[in-house]
Amino acid sequence: MRRSMAALAAVTLLSLTACATDEPAASPSGSAPAGSGTGDQSKFFVQADYDAELSLLTAAPTGPADKPWEQVLNPKMVDTAKFKKTGPHKICFSNAALNNPWRQVGFKTMQAEVEAQKSRIKEFVHVDAEGKDQKQIADINDLLGKDCDALIVSPNTTATLTPAVEAACQAGLPVVVFDRGVNTKCPVTFINPIGGYGFGHVGAEFVSQKMKPGGKVLALRILPGVDVLETRWSAAKVAFDKAKVDVVGVEFTDGDPAKTKKIVDDYIQRYGTIDGVWMDAGAVAVAAVEAFQDAGKPVPPMNGEDQLDFLKIWKDKNLTAIAPTYPTYQWRTPIIAALRILDGEQVSSPWKLPQPTVTQDNLDRYLDPSMPPLHYAMCGCTDLPGYPQRWK
């Protein structure tokens, strides 16, 4: 009985491989199902914001050219005289989370900026909300009782954190919000780069221009419902619809390489070939590249981000790629802004930072093979104390 079982197993394995003597067909089955297309526009899409961000892509920034974290696009200065205070100061920071490499690199940059300014900052208090709205609301509330001279907030989610930020404003503190926004104008300034529309547009334009007309694009998103990511996709959708490419799939990867590789692999198997890949965040770009490599297919035009593992594979494999960025150097700016506000200096509100793009032409400038694969090239950290060890 047992022997027959083993024999059966052997026969199965053999028959599996025997089927393998079939000639591979020249093309994949032509009747592959129609793509899901780009679907309806996201409810996060606001035409005016989209137009504004796209115009910022070509706007000339004011400020020192070698310090993009101090530059401003279309500045609108606000008065801060009422917050003037003599230092050294105690600066408090309520952080949404440290749960991805982007935030880890950013926070190290912020710590280094604090160190660089240590003559002016007597104490820096950091509270990590670990990605939980409720914890961050409690964190901000706690910080209000700790004699902070200025409060920096990187909100976990926009709507839920709005009342907590309003409460901080009412306590008379200068509040600086950065990265993700809140639905109130009460903070002294809101600091972020151009934003999601700019990111999504740059990647989608590149992919649709570099691939064959009407080719098949796979769009990879992290998760639905986050404004930064929704705007990235909605701008890409506009570009793809305009270029009339065939978006065969829009899939959520959770930002996970294992899931990403599986999804891309499934699409390669289903369609035989994919002509372009667009993604709303580059952290899983390398997994997508590997899916093509392991399937023995050429890597199609795609976008990633300024994470070094992607820049490296881009250069090594000579990919047709582009990397719009959401620079981690924006973590320096809130510290600089807080100190200027406490000096009573005018600052721009909102404070829009430039958002450079890594292209084939400037790739070598950003690719530093001595830094770890999960480091971000746009850290703006090379002049800061502790570079490079702090970021390794």
Interface with other proteins (CB under 8 A) = 1-2, 5-6, 8-9, 12, 16-17, 19-25, 28-29, 32-33, 97-101, 103-104, 130-131, 251, 254, 256-263, 265-266, 269-270, 272, 286-287, 290, 294-296, 372-374
Q: Which is nearer to other proteins, 6 or 77 (CB)?
A: 6
Q: Which is nearer to other proteins, 304 or 354 (CB)?
A: 304
Q: Is the peptide bond before 155 cis (omega within 30 degrees of 0)?
A: no
Rounded least distance, CB 306 to other proteins, Å: 17
DSSP structure string for 288-346: HHHHHHHTT-PPPSEE--SBHHHHHHHHHTT--EEEE---GGGGTHHHHHHHHHHTT--
Q: Which is nearer to other proteins, 304 or 350 (CB)?
A: 304
Rounded least distance, CB 120 to other proteins, Å: 29
Give me the half-sphere count of Cα atoms (radius 13 Å) on the Cβ side of residue 24: 4
Q: Which is nearer to other proteins, 135 or 262 (CB)?
A: 262
Q: Which residue has the tokens 């972020």?
A: 192
94 pairs with which residues across the strands?
Answer: 127, 153
Rounded least distance, CB 362 to other proteins, Å: 25
Q: Which is nearer to other proteins, 19 or 65 (CB)?
A: 19
Rounded least distance, CB 36 to other proteins, Å: 9
Euclidean distance between CA atoms 327 and 154, whole angstroms: 15
Q: Which is nearer to other proteins, 32 or 77 (CB)?
A: 32
Rounded least distance, CB 33 to other proteins, Å: 4
Q: Which is nearer to other proteins, 216 or 352 (CB)?
A: 216
Contact call for residues 139 and 129 (beta carbons, < 8 A): yes
Rounded least distance, CB 336 to other proteins, Å: 26
Rounded least distance, CB 143 to other proteins, Å: 21
3-state secondary structure of 176: strand
Query: 336: part of which helix (H) or strand (E)?
Result: helix 333-342
Euclidean distance between CA atoms 79 and 344, whole angstroms: 8
Q: C-alpha distances in angstroms, 18 versus 6, 10, 12, 24?
A: 18, 12, 10, 13
Contact call for residues 290 and 261 (beta carbons, < 8 A): yes
Residue 346's Cβ-count burial label (10 Å; 0-12, 13-18, 19+) is middle
Largest separation between any pair of C-alpha atoms in the chain? 90
